[in-house]
Amino acid sequence: MPQINLKLKAGSYPVIIGSRTDSKFLSLLKTKAQNKQLFVFFDTRFYVLHGKKIESLLKRNKFIIKSFLIPSGEKSKSASTLKSIYNFLLHNKISRDDFILACGGGVTTDLIGYAAASTLRGIPWGAVSTTLLGMVDAAIGGKTGINHASGKNLIGAFWQPSFVICNTQHLQTLPEREMIAGLGEVIKYGGLIGHKFMDEIERFLKTGDLYNSRVLEKLITVSVRYKALIVSEDEREKNIRMLLNLGHTFGHAIEKTLGYGKLLHGEAIIIGLLAAVILSRKVNKTAAKALAGYESLLKKCLRLLPYFLIKPAETVKNMQIDKKRSGQKLRFVLLKSPGKPFIASGLKPKLIIDSVKECLALYKAEGR
């Protein structure tokens, strides 16, 4: 069973990946939650399928649990949901000796991680990540937060979990659309890592079996190992960690343009990655040949996405509040070739709008 340790200046924590994680999960909980008092937050859809089993496991091992269900979907990453979580924690007299457990996908870990960071100025927490997107990205690295009317993830904090559990059995009950969304983040790593990993992703997609546990475990492990390496060098996203935002400046703006929840985050990232590739070859025309294979992969993935009308001008406007900008200048993660990312800023507005238009035209032609 793969275990990847994310090493930080303040300490390290494990990410456990596999289909039989219960014993390791309990061992970590007994170490981290020594007073046995757990506040457990479940994504509602996940709870229906697996929640009772997890509650039973915890109770059999003498943990005292208080459970709270979070409505599934991006709309839960809001100030109103956060307020209800604060009320639950404070009404039940949580203390810093207690432990918070988040069981769900990226929405759940983002939201509950932030609640843990901001309640009593910091409560320890852990994550049972239950979606492919969460396992390869959202649960790893300590970024927590909620959305705001002005944009995605604009309110939040860095608050590292004590551990992350990625039980691949949970993926077997995930809807296909959620699996495709998770692949958006995996494909992002293909662009960052290079051709070898990109080829593995292509082979996986060609099989048509998105639920192959053996292959999924490998894809998750490679993705987590890369992210752990980056985060260990730059926990607070001052430089190299920005590379993990490949496709996200476009993707986040697309989500806001449509309204949160219409496209899943990973679906918007697939479109955003294509926009980033198009902009990369407009900025550096010699990159077109090197990026042709990656661009082709992303175009094929457009066929897996539902289609919604997205307005190019509004999308570009919604980029202006992006967290990664330097002053008023947008910063983009671009590629010279797969495996060779770089950060560009101060680009001509026409290059950006033309890239968005070209990308959205392709999405309109290929989306289902």
Is 248 marked active-site?
yes
Active site residue 121: yes
Residue 229 to residue 59: CA distance in whole angstroms = 36
Q: Which of 77, 188, 252, 331 is catalytic?
A: 252
3-state secondary structure at position 147: strand
Q: How far, in Å, CA of 239 to CA of 194, rounded?
A: 20
- How far is the C-alpha of 19 from the C-alpha of 2, rounded, in Å? 10
| Residue 35 Cα distances to 32, 62, 98, 122, 269, angstroms | 9, 10, 7, 17, 41
Question: Which of 178, 217, 237, 255 is labelled catalytic?
Answer: 237
The single residue of 245, 255, 256, 318 carrying the catalytic annotation is 245
**Marked catalytic residue, from 74, 178, 185, 295:** 185
Q: From CA 160, how far away is CA 145, in angstroms rounded?
A: 12
- Catalytic residue from among 45, 50, 77, 143: 143
Q: Is 227 a catalytic residue?
A: yes
- Asked if 185 is an active-site residue, the reply is yes
Of residues 265, 281, 282, 331, which has the active-site annotation?
265
- Return the axis-axis angle of helices 176-193 and 213-233, rounded to nearest 10°: 50
- Answer yes or no: 252 catalytic: yes
Query: Which of the following is catalytic: 45, 77, 241, 281?
Result: 241
195: amino acid identity, one letter:
H
Does the annotation mark 148 as catalytic?
Answer: no
The answer to whether 225 is a known catalytic residue is no
Catalytic residue among 60, 62, 93, 121: 121
| Nearest-angstrom CA–CA distance, 40 and 68 | 6
Question: What CA–CA distance (Å, rounded) separates 193 from 173?
Answer: 29
Q: Which of 50, 152, 170, 227 is catalytic?
A: 227
- 265 flagged as catalytic: yes
Instruction: Choose the catalytic residue: 77, 170, 248, 281.
Output: 248
C-alpha–C-alpha distance, residues 145 and 154, integer Å: 7
Which residues are tagged catalytic? 121, 143, 185, 227, 237, 241, 245, 248, 252, 265
